[in-house]
Structure 1
């Protein structure tokens, strides 16, 4: 279980860290998604910061387990909010969202399983 926990946590942290950087530097893809979801571009730094906090929290969970659990749960909630944004504008192209959400759920699941909270 330890190997699965480490692998999922590292992959999730890297992916969410890259997504955070893309939001924070104003990359075209997150901007186009914000426009499509009718989310103000002024929210981009906040959304990037939330993703960065989640990525760093997952890594911090190696030293302080509760931080990893809370970060993973926060990422699940973040992507549930993103689903709400997609549904609000009737955007049903949910492939990328599903991948991000599934990884957040997996990070939470392996965290809870490894820590014995299941």
Structure 2
């Protein structure tokens, strides 16, 4: 179980960390997604910081298990919000969302299974 916990947690942290960097450096893709979902561009850095906090929290969970659990739960909520943003504008391009969401769900699941 330990190997699954470590592998899934690191994978989820890397995925969300890469997304956070993409949002924080001002890449065009997050801006285009924000425009498509009618989210103000001023939210893009905030969303990037939330992703970075989730990514860091997952890694910090190796030392402080409660923090890792909270970070994983926060990422699940973040991606549920992303789903709402997609559906609100009628977007059916959900493959990318699904990868991130199910990675966050897997991180939460292994975290809860291993620690609690």
TM-score by length of 2: 0.98
Question: How do residues 45-84 of structure 1 correspond to structure 2 at under 5 angstroms?
Answer: 45-84=45-84
The Cα of 1:92 is off from its aligned counterpart by 1.0
Post-superposition Cα deviations, 1:5-64, rounded to whole Å, max 9, x if no partner, equal 000010110110110010001111111111111111100110000000000000000000
Segments of 5+ residues of structure 2 without an aligned counterpart are none
What is the number of residues matched between the two proteins?
A: 116
Q: Distance in 2 between matches of 1:13 and 1:46?
A: 18
**Post-superposition CA distance 1:57-76 (Å, at most 9, x none):** 00000000000000000000
User: What is the CA distance between 1:86 and its match in structure 2?
Assistant: 0.3
Unaligned runs of 5+ in 1: none
Counterparts of 2:81 and 2:30 in 1: how far apart (Å)? Answer: 15
Displacement after TM superposition at 1:98 (Å): 0.5
CA RMSD of aligned residues (A): 0.5
- Stretches of 4+ aligned residues off by more than 2 angstroms: none
Q: What is the rounded CA distance, in whole Å, between the counterparts of 1:49 and 1:40 in structure 2?
A: 15
